[in-house]
């Protein structure tokens, strides 16, 4: 739930106040380099499992389901409406019933 609260906070901030918005995202991610831009609406799953290096930008409506570590290097630009997911659900009915989801970095 901490991820939801952090995303809601960041998504509700005024985009004109870049310093406050950047501080909210830095609090949400595990590690952040210089030059960070995260456009709203941004959502993530776990909080602090996302690590980005220098010059990171994600455009509008991005989702990173970070049940496992998500690491991005320098100069990463993510387009609008992108989803990155570390979580996979079983394909068998029994596996789904038993909630045997798997997450990989």
- Catalytic machinery residues: 89
Residues whose CB is less than 8 angstroms from the CB of residue 65 and which lie 6 or more positions away in sequence, other chains included: 44, 45, 83, 84, 85, 86, 87
Distance CA 81, CA 78 (A): 9
């Amino acid at each position: 739930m901490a991820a939801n609260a952090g995303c809601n906070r960041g998504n509700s901030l005024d985009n004109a106040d870049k310093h406050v918005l950047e501080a909210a995202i830095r609090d949400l991610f595990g590690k952040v380099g210089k030059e960070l831009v995260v456009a709203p609406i941004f959502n993530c799953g776990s909080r602090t499992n996302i690590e980005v290096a220098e010059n990171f930008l994600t455009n509008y409506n991005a989702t990173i389901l970070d049940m496992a570590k998500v690491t991005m290097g320098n100069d990463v630009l993510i387009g609008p409406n992108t989803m990155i997911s570390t979580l996979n659900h079983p394909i068998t009915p029994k596996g789904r019933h038993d909630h045997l989801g798997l997450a990989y970095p």
